[in-house]
Structure 1
Amino acid sequence: MITVVGESLIDLVGSAGERTFAALPGGSPANVAVGLARLGNQVTLATHLGDDTLGRLVREHLEHSGVRIRILPGAKEPTSLAIATLDTDGVADYDFRVAWDIHEPPVLDDSCRAVHTGSLATTLAPGADVLEAFLAAERARGAVTLSLDPNIRPSLLPSRTEVVARVERQVAMVDVVKVSTEDLRLLYPGEKDTEVARRWLASGPALVVVTRGGAGACAVTAAGEVRQPASRVDAVDTVGAGDAFTAGILDWLGQAGLLGGARRGQLAGLDRTALGDLLRTASVIAGITCTRQGAEPPTRTEVAA
């Protein structure tokens, strides 16, 4: 079983200059949970949802996909909202109406083998401080694989110096990091993504994956480094594509028996052949998601087809 911790929200998705928006369930951690569940994994999403119309829409979407929902103790806030405006290439620019004020982290079931988090949940105070302490405690306990996608949202963040410091602390606590080149350009302007990936790897993780949009992805472990081109698809939009890629990574690791604290050494030993297969699988999953409006990742049957 995999536990995902983080925000659930509604994406209002529309094209630049248009007045009509579609209300689609989203939130990076919620999207990852849906992606994992549709691939057949047992998934719990620890999150915040308001007791309102938007919250009910998100809840129905999650439950229909097979995600178990656990509401974290925290302030009584309405369900969060993200306004995604698409350019002519289907790339989204986001504006957020979001709060992340949780008071306690999740309590993990004994069957849990991995925890994934990231995005607003690990950067937006005060909830981010709760989650960071949780990651540190779980790293010390050593029972589960810890996964992070920083998924930087600059419109909601403090100074770049503060964000870099927080992200680097969290990267050093986890086993798997997935990050986009867009995120890395915000964190480290002018630096090569592969150089950052190697530096992050040396700070603690066993696996670092960098996604490059249409240019593909690369993965780095102590045992190897590989680059993989992107799947070629007729994209409708890119909403949720990175989250689908993350779900693909975690699903591949689960299928390979590499989730759980005791598997960390094997995870760090993934060679070029294994990394290439991991990236190809995740790329297909993300590519299918790009052919649909909103964050709608595929099932395992669709991936096989």
Structure 2
Amino acid sequence: MYSNQSSWEYYMIAAVGESLIDRIGDKDVVGGCAFNTALAASRLGAAVTFFGKVSKDQYGSMILEKMIDDGVLFDPELCNAEEPTLCSKVVLDDEGKAKYVFDYKNTAACTFTKAELSKSFANETDIDLVFFGSISLLMEPGCEEIMPAINSIDSRPKYFLDPNIRPSMVIDSEAYRLMIFSLVGGCDIVKASDEDIAFLFPDLPLEEAERRFASLCEWNLVVTRGAKGSTWYTKFFKVDCPAVKVDNLVDTIGCGDTFNAAIMEYLQTNNLIGQISELDKPTVERILEHASKAAALNCTKEGCDPPYRDEL
């Protein structure tokens, strides 16, 4: 593994999935759910490795430079793909909310195999939390390789899933829903936006859909609603957290990823990863407040540009 930092105080978070380039107007910005989450977690002080294919092209060089600059570990053997970097066109509405159009066919992002990922995981013996989700669960061939590879990790880490659904990439909605439902029961934390919930349960009112999904997730479900705040459902209680007010919002790119990262960083920093199923209400409240602050700061900058620890 490569990093510009020589040692880590904690065990490792693994972010598995895609890196890409977001085209915002005439500007190219490094992005991707797994990549953004790794970047944000590292900036907040977590020990994190990104596991995903990176192209040899000039955009791949941008991705590598970003990881080196921000202390994200990576496996050089996964960073030699001949295929070009995945690019997405970002369209912002009047409120700064982003929609994405992906040019993903025959790109490097998810060309990894189970064998490649498993070999890379084996070189990182202290993984205790794995993050995955988003479009990497849709793009072949990698989408079929992720779970077998993750399940091969000897340390038996906890799983954190963010579906981060991009409807424009979903060909068969019902098959996709069943796939997500099959995954969530085996995860230790699931984070979903209100838009994700609405897509998964199109015929149910949102609150009923959230509770239905929480039961499928065995009750460690975090739901985000942008300016309307967030909710963490557990088997024993529910915690609502208001959003942090953002007066100078630029866009929402990477806000959900930053929210994910802040949750994982808090768990790692406070040695709580092994106690995810036993978190008490005050702890959950603190985690949501921490994640909300981090996500709000990301909203004040263009693209995914998450805060550093001292900014919180």
Q: Normalization by structure 1: what TM-score? A: 0.89
What 5-or-longer segments of structure 1 have no aligned partner?
Answer: 15-20
Matching residue's letter, 1:289: N
Corresponding residue number in structure 1 for 2:234: 221
Give the C-alpha shift of residue 75 in structure 1.
6.5
Structure 1 residues 197, 292: CA separation in 2 closer, same or farther (over 3 Å shift)? Answer: same
CA displacement, residues 96-150 of structure 1 (integer Å, 9 cap, x when unaligned): 0124222123424221111101111122222111112234455xx6721111101
Matching residue's letter, 2:272: L
Cα separation, 2, equivalents of 1:189 and 1:195 = 11
Residue 88 of structure 1 pairs with residue 104 of structure 2: no
Cα separation, 2, equivalents of 1:132 and 1:199 = 24
Matching residue's letter, 1:292: K
Give the C-alpha shift of residue 256 in structure 1.
2.6
What secondary structure sits across from 1:62 in the alignment? helix
Q: Where in structure 2 are the equivalents of 1:66-85 lying within 5 Å?
A: 66-70=71-75, 71-72=77-78, 76-85=82-91
User: Does the CA contact (< 8 Å) of 2:91 and 2:99 recur in 1?
Assistant: yes
Cα separation, 2, equivalents of 1:142 and 1:292 = 37
Deviates most, 63-72 or 34-43: 63-72
Structure 1 residues 76, 169: CA separation in 2 closer, same or farther (over 3 Å shift)? Answer: farther
Give the C-alpha shift of residue 205 in structure 1.
4.5
Structure 1 residues 110, 196: CA separation in 2 closer, same or farther (over 3 Å shift)? Answer: farther
Residue 235 of structure 1 pairs with residue 245 of structure 2: no
Corresponding residue number in structure 1 for 2:4: none
Q: Give the aligned length.
A: 290
Cα separation, 2, equivalents of 1:248 and 1:256 = 12
Give the C-alpha shift of residue 194 in structure 1.
4.3
1:129 pairs with one of 144, 148, 151? 144
Cα separation, 2, equivalents of 1:268 and 1:289 = 28
Corresponding residue number in structure 1 for 2:27: 22
Give the C-alpha shift of residue 74 in structure 1.
9.3
Q: Where in structure 2 are the equivalents of 1:1-305 lying within 5 Å?
A: 1-14=12-25, 21-70=26-75, 71-72=77-78, 76-98=82-104, 99=107, 100-104=110-114, 105-106=117-118, 107-108=121-122, 109-137=124-152, 143-205=156-218, 207-233=220-246, 234-259=248-273, 263=274, 266-303=275-312
Deviates most, 4-13 or 125-134: 125-134
Cα separation, 1, equivalents of 2:111 and 2:148 = 14
Give the C-alpha shift of residue 195 in structure 1.
3.6
Identity %: 33
User: Does the CA contact (< 8 Å) of 2:197 and 2:210 recur in 1?
Assistant: no
CA displacement, residues 1-42 of structure 1 (integer Å, 9 cap, x when unaligned): 11111100110013xxxxxx2100000100000001101111
Give the C-alpha shift of residue 221 in structure 1.
1.3
What secondary structure sits across from 2:285 in the alignment? helix
Q: Normalization by structure 2: what TM-score? A: 0.87
Cα separation, 2, equivalents of 1:137 and 1:190 = 37
Cα separation, 2, equivalents of 1:295 and 1:277 = 23
Cα separation, 2, equivalents of 1:284 and 1:214 = 12
Cα separation, 1, equivalents of 2:60 and 2:284 = 38
CA displacement, residues 141-172 of structure 1 (integer Å, 9 cap, x when unaligned): 67211111011111112211011011111112
User: Does the CA contact (< 8 Å) of 2:54 and 2:79 recur in 1?
Assistant: no
Cα separation, 2, equivalents of 1:136 and 1:167 = 16
Cα separation, 2, equivalents of 1:42 and 1:206 = 27
Give the C-alpha shift of residue 197 in structure 1.
4.0
What 5-or-longer segments of structure 2 have no aligned partner?
Answer: 1-11
Give the C-alpha shift of residue 203 in structure 1.
3.5
Give the C-alpha shift of residue 200 in structure 1.
3.7
Cα separation, 2, equivalents of 1:220 and 1:256 = 21
User: Does the CA contact (< 8 Å) of 1:172 and 1:200 recur in 2?
Assistant: no
Cα separation, 1, equivalents of 2:211 and 2:198 = 16
Cα separation, 1, equivalents of 2:182 and 2:237 = 24
Matching residue's letter, 2:111: D
Please give the root-mean-square deviation of Cα atoms over the aligned residues, in Å: 1.9
CA displacement, residues 19-67 of structure 1 (integer Å, 9 cap, x when unaligned): xx21000001000000011011111101111111111111111211111
